[in-house]
Each structure stands twice: as structure tokens, then as C-alpha cells.
A and B are shown apart, each in its own frame.
Chain A
Amino acid sequence: MNYLSIILLLPVLSFLVLVVFGKKWGEKSAYVSIGAMVVSFALSIYALLFVMGGGHTEITFTWASIGSFKLTFGLLLDALSAMMLVVVTIVSLLVQIFSFGYMHGDKRIGWFYACLSMFTASMLLLVYSPNYVQIYMAWEGVGVFSYLLIGFWFEKRSASDAAKKAFMVTRFGDLGFGVGLVLLYIVAGTLDMDKVFAMHLPEATAALIAILFFCGAVGKSAQFPLHVWLPDAMEGPTPVSALIHSATMVAAGVYLVARSYPLFEMGPVSLEVVAIIGTITAFMAATIALTATDIKKVLAYSTISQLGYMMMGLGVGAYAAGVFHLMTHAFFKPLLFLGAGSVIHAVHSQEIFDMGGLGKKMKITSITFLIGGLALAGIPPFAGFWSKDEILAGAFASGHITIFIFGLLTVLLTAFYTFRLIFIVFFGKPRGHHGDHAHESPAVMSMPLIILGFFALTAGLIGSPFAQNAFQGFIAHGHEAEAPNYMVMGASCIIALIGIGFAYMKYMTNVLPSNVISKDNFFYKLLVNKYYMDEFYYYALIVPTHAVARAALAFDQKVVDGAVNGVAWVSMQFGKGLRHIQTGYVQNYALYMVIGLVVLLIWSIKILGLF
């Protein structure tokens, strides 16, 4: 058995074992799951080294065949998948270790670890895919386990609602993905990626298919206008948010676009769509984050915004930069989420105005959170700076000036809301009594923070000009990185610092009067209400759906249930029965059958041209 399949099979095995024994073993379940993940991680590192040495592996085996139609299942190892393997396994590993402290005392911890394992396995399956059927299956798989994990605390009504919303909204995007797959199959006759990419599809067709694929990515990666599910998904346990809703599953949409990049390049219009949607998402989510007061929601909107950045990068042609940002983000965002988890664990509240002055009580958490914040805000030399800068430079170089300007504006907003969060939570004076008994989390929780903090500090360097953009060269042969644009670098750095400065003046000093941002302001209301997107969906989609459902119900009650209610008790003796049965309804059914026969008769005669 190949080591690549072991990477995939270990978490599956862990899932199967924990489904059966998880309840019995309780917290010991974590050892199984974490142990499996350690091995998978080690093997992933080996795979990465193998690819860096110029290796490339593709294993396929037939999985279902009917006639000449074969479905294959395969493991594809190239630069992109090797990088994703390492990212997925390391984040999953750290999150699982962190959860051991965070979920301490939860009765269903076995099930929790089972779900985490299987989620990771689905994600690995997705990453490995050499064909679109496998991607689609794994895509749905991560959706299902995300659903289970968001709704893990299903006793909470909001959690179960959020799980449902996440599933429904992403399914909406998946519909486009599914139609795209069917279309691709019709046009190309195959769903194997290498075969598809080797073809020369007509430009318009390729663009249409690519845009349909992008619909799936919009749902999964919470892009505008389907981003509404991600903030609600924060109802899940915080480690879940860190794993699924920052580093892995939400990145799957970006991964899909990156994976299908040759297809998108065949229809360049689709890349424009990707860039525009990405920019709108990045900017809009950043503005909403300005007013959010729930620590996890701030991070959720920031995730949406950063995913928008990645899409923006891919869209403007800076392929390597987009993937690079995916990678750096996968380190600093889980760091922020786990840090937030540590804070929530300590103060038992998610409201930032319940917190304050936690810096002194939780040293490790606050320092690592600060590192994550600096990476997010884009301050050199932290990870986020290098990748974000590459994207902006790409937008600038390709002549997308409007996108570039919005990108810079988003940098300003990002820096502001990030440090608004940091200043309120970790500095200043305690507000209320939630933080009275706060203390640093146990080592099992702070250790993953430190490791992620290290990466948030250093992971960007491998793609920086200091390392001759080594990462970009590795991930994208042929998509060579731009020469470093020091003007863009300087501008984005200064703008980020200005953002931090504003935040400092507003929340740490009284230089800015508090009524600069009036709460009666139209814009403030717009932002607090998240641009009224939820309301829009409620009236545009949910209300009509309910109306249709009600109509169907009415039909059923009148036509079908009416029949049931109207019929009197029927004796089994047939003679007696004749008296009681109201055969009218049965006659109706027979009548429908006759009408059906007549209609089909007319249609058939027409189609055969008999008369």
C-alpha cells in the first residue's frame, strides 16, 4: 500500500473506530484521532519533500464501471496538493490537540473526534482528486461533516439552525457546480482533469463551465452573495471554526478555482468574474467586521474578506499569490480562532465589550493573538503581509486599478478592525466581571497557539523576495512571480499602519471623540445589519419557498387528505363495505388514470405522425 493512501486511510480508520468505541472511551478517543493525525502529518511532510525533489505521483484505480463508462478514484500528488496536504494535516493536528483542552468534560467528545477525523479525511480526499467526480464527492463529504460539527451542540436552537443554513446555502452554490459538471461531461466527454486541461474548449463554453464551477466555490468559500452562512456557522465549537471555517473547508472553493485554473484560463471572462466577486467580498466583509461585537463574528467576517483576497488574486492572474495567501492564511487565521477560543474559555463570553485588559492575565494567548493580528493586518515581516502584497502587486501589474484601490482600502479596514479587537480585548481596563477569574489556558491549549504563532511569523518568508519567491516558483511553474514592487509594498504597509493608528486613537486614547462614529448614522446601521443580506434572502427566497410549500400542503389537504378524511369506516365484508364506502374518491383516481391515458394517446399519435 502506498504511503499516500495511508495518509488518507488513517483518519478514516480513526473515524470508524471512534464511531464504535468513542462513547466508551470518552476523552481517550482523542489519543486515537490525534495519533492517526500525527502519522498522517509526518507522511505529508515526506510527500512534500518528495515533490520538492521533483517528484510527481498519480495513482488511480477503477471504482465503478458500467459498460464503457468508468469512474476512477485516484490520488494525485503534485506541488499544489502536497502543499495542501501539509496545511490540512498540520492545522487538523493542532486543532485536535487544542480541542483536548477546550472540549474537556463534554460528554460526546468521542463523536466530536470521530467527526473531526472524517472531516479531515474528506478534505484530504478532495485535495488528492485527479478528477471532478471525486472532488464533487469529497466536496459533499466535507459539507456533511461540517454540518454535523456546526450543529454539534444541537441542543442550542441557534446551532441547529446555523447548521441547516450552512448546508442549504452551500447547496445552492453546489447546484451550479453540479450543472457545470454535467455540462463539462457533455462537452469534453471526460471528467479527468488532465484530459480536460489538455483540450482546447471553445472560449465561451470554457468560461460558462468555469463560472458554474465558481458558483460552487462561492458557496463553499463564503463569497458574496452566498457568504451569509459563515458568520452563523460560528455557533459550532471554536476549534471547529478554526479548522473548518478558516483554514480548510472554506479554502476548498479557492482550491477548486486554483485546481481548475487551466479551465479558467481557457475562458478568461471567468477570471474577471472571479476577480470582481473576490473584490466585492473582500471589501464588503471588511466593512461589516468594523461593527461586529462578537469576537468570533469579527473573525468570521475577516475570514470572508481574506477569502475574497484569495479569489481576487486568482482572478487578476496572480495564481501563485492567491495560493500563497491561502497557505499563510491557513496558519494565522486558525491561530486567531484558537486564541479567541482560549479567551472564550477563560471569560465564558463572546461579546468583546465583556472583555478587556486580558493581556496581563493571559500572556501567551495575547502575544500569539497579537502575532496573528499583525499577520492579518499585513505588517511586515508577518506572514499575511507577503502574500497579501503579492496579490495587490498582481492586481496593479495586470492593470486592474479599481480592484487594486479597493484592495488597498480593504487593507486599511482590516488593520482597523483587527486592532480594534486587540485593543478592546487585551488592553485597557476590564469591563464587567466576566474576566475576573480569567487565567491562562492549560498547556495543551497554549502549545498549539505557540506553534501556529511561529508559522504566522515565518511562513510568509518563504514567498518573500528574501527567499527569491521560492514558494511561488514551487507552486506555479509558468506563473512566475512578479518582480517585487516596492511602491506597492510600501503603500500597503503604510496604509495598514494608518489603520492601526486610527484604532489606537479611537479605542486607546480619547483623541478621536466617540461621536465620530454616530450610531444613528445610516452607514453604521447598514453595517450592523450586514447590508441587510439576511433579510434580503428571507424575503426573496425563504418567504416564496414557504408559500409554495403551503400551496403544496393545501393541495394535499384538499385532494389527498380530503379523500382519507371523507371515507367512512369500511367493513371487511365486501357487501357491507359497498354501503359505507364513498367510492367517489376512488372514482376520481380512476378518472385521473383515464385522463392520463387520453393525454398520452394523443401525444403518441402526434409523435408518430399517425393521423
Chain B
Amino acid sequence: MIEQVIFFALAAVAIISAIAVVLSRNLFHAVMILGGFLLTIAGFYFLLNADFVGIMQVFVYVGGVIVVMLFGIMLTPHEANITNAAKLQQKLGTYIAVAALIGLLAMIFIRTTFITSPAEPVKDTVSLAGKLFMTNYVLPFEVISVLLLAALVGAIIVARKEEH
């Protein structure tokens, strides 16, 4: 019961903050609200007993991504408000399409029974995740390392100034 109350509270915060990010006209505000949104997602993980993932969510997104974004905004000259150049038709089209998609998905999910398993509480999710990385998911785990290497090389190339 108490879990359900927390879930709906978190969900409400998540949805409202997500909409606020999209509608915000101030870039700085948008990023701050986005940080809040990401925290609520971490809340979901904790609620699901996935403490390790929750902590990582806070570290990586709130502590990393959001901070980098804020640096980006502060270090580059920018206008305070994004002038929204979208035309009325564009806005209208977007609203209708998104509403249709959400409506359809809602109808679909209401009629769907998802698989649920009574999850036995795991005491130590860190070691479980570690074991999974080293056994079942060892290949994707290693491929991710290659992906990160490629991303590093790419970041250097993109950030480098033109030589010629």
C-alpha cells in the first residue's frame, strides 16, 4: 500500500517535470528541472529494490550529465530565452501527434497483461550485477568498452580545433 502511494507520487512528479522540461523557455531552468526528473527516476529504482542502479543513476546523470550540461550553458554565450521559432501549424501538429501516440499507448497498455514475478528481495544487488556482467552479459559488457573507446576517440576529434 505504502509502495503504491510512493509510486504514484513519484510518477506524478516525473510526468509534470518532464512536461516542464519540454515547455520551459529558459534553457537553464530546463536543465535544472531535467535534473529533478532524473532524480525521480532514481526513486523508481530504489522503490524496486535496485539500489545499485539507483545510486548509479544519481551519480551518472545528476552528478555527471546535468553538470556537464550546466557547464556547457555557462561557458557559451547564449540568449536568456530560446526564441521558439516554431510556427503554429508545427506546434499544433506536434501536440496532436504526441497526444495521439500517448492515447494509443494508454489504450494498449490498459489491455495488456505484463509479466509479473514475485521478486525475492536480493540483499546484495552490487555483487549480483557484477556476476551478471562477468557471466551472462560478458560479451555486451566488453563491446560496451569498445563503444566507450570509440566515443573517446570521437570526442577528441570533434572537440579538436581545425589544424589547417
Contact = CB atoms under 8 A, between A and B. Distances in A.
A–B touching in complex (CB under 8 Å): yes
Interface of A: 572-576, 578-579, 582, 584, 587-588, 591, 594-595, 597-598, 601-602, 605, 610-611
Nearest to B73: A575
A578 B30 CA distance: 13
B107 A611 contact: yes
Given A584-B85, A584-B86, A588-B90, A574 B101 contact: no
7 contacts: A572-B158, A573-B76, A573-B159, A578-B73, A584-B86, A595-B93, A601-B101
Given A572-B159, A574-B72, A591 B93 contact: yes
A584 B90 contact: yes
Interface of B: 27, 71-73, 75-79, 85-86, 90, 93-94, 97-98, 100-101, 104, 107-108, 111, 158-159
Given A582-B85, A598-B104, A611-B111, A591 B77 contact: no
The secondary-structure label for the interface of chain B is helix
Q: Which residue, of B78, B79, B97, has the highest number of chain A Cβ atoms within 10 A?
A: B97
Q: Which residue, of A572, A575, A594, has the highest number of chain B Cβ atoms within 10 A?
A: A575
A595 B158 CA distance: 33
A141 B90 CA distance: 50
A579 B72 CA distance: 11
Contacts of B101: 594, 597-598, 601
A565 to B, nearest CB: 14
Q: Which residue, of B76, B94, B101, B104, has the highest number of chain A Cβ atoms within 10 A?
A: B76
B77 A579 contact: yes
Contacts of A597: 101
Contacts of B78: 578-579
The 4 closest A-B pairs by CB, nearest first: A575-B72, A575-B76, A594-B97, A579-B78
Contacts of B85: 582, 584
Contact of A578 (B76, B86, B100, B107): B76
A579 B76 contact: yes
Given A578-B73, A601-B101, 7 more contacts: A575-B72, A575-B76, A584-B90, A591-B97, A595-B93, A598-B97, A598-B101
A595 B104 CA distance: 12
A602 B104 contact: yes
The secondary-structure label for the interface of chain A is helix
A70 B75 CA distance: 67
Contacts of A587: 86, 90, 94
A578 B72 contact: yes
A584 B79 CA distance: 17
A170 B159 CA distance: 56
A574 to B, nearest CB: 6
A258 B78 CA distance: 78
Contacts of B27: 578
Contacts of B90: 584, 587-588, 591
B79 A579 contact: yes
Contacts of A588: 90
B97 A595 contact: yes
A97 B71 CA distance: 82
A563 to B, nearest CB: 13
Contacts of A601: 101, 104, 108
Contacts of A605: 108
Nearest to B98: A594
Contacts of A582: 85
A576 B78 CA distance: 8
A574 B93 CA distance: 28
A595 to B, nearest CB: 5
Contacts of A598: 97, 100-101, 104
Nearest to A610: B111
A594 B100 CA distance: 10
Nearest to A595: B97
A541 B32 CA distance: 61
A575 B75 contact: yes
B123 to A, nearest CB: 41
Nearest to B69: A575
A587 B85 CA distance: 11
A576 B111 contact: no
B12 to A, nearest CB: 24
A582 B158 CA distance: 20
A217 B55 CA distance: 76
Nearest to A577: B76
A26 to B, nearest CB: 47
A180 to B, nearest CB: 44
A362 B80 CA distance: 92
B91 to A, nearest CB: 10
Nearest to A571: B76
B104 to A, nearest CB: 5
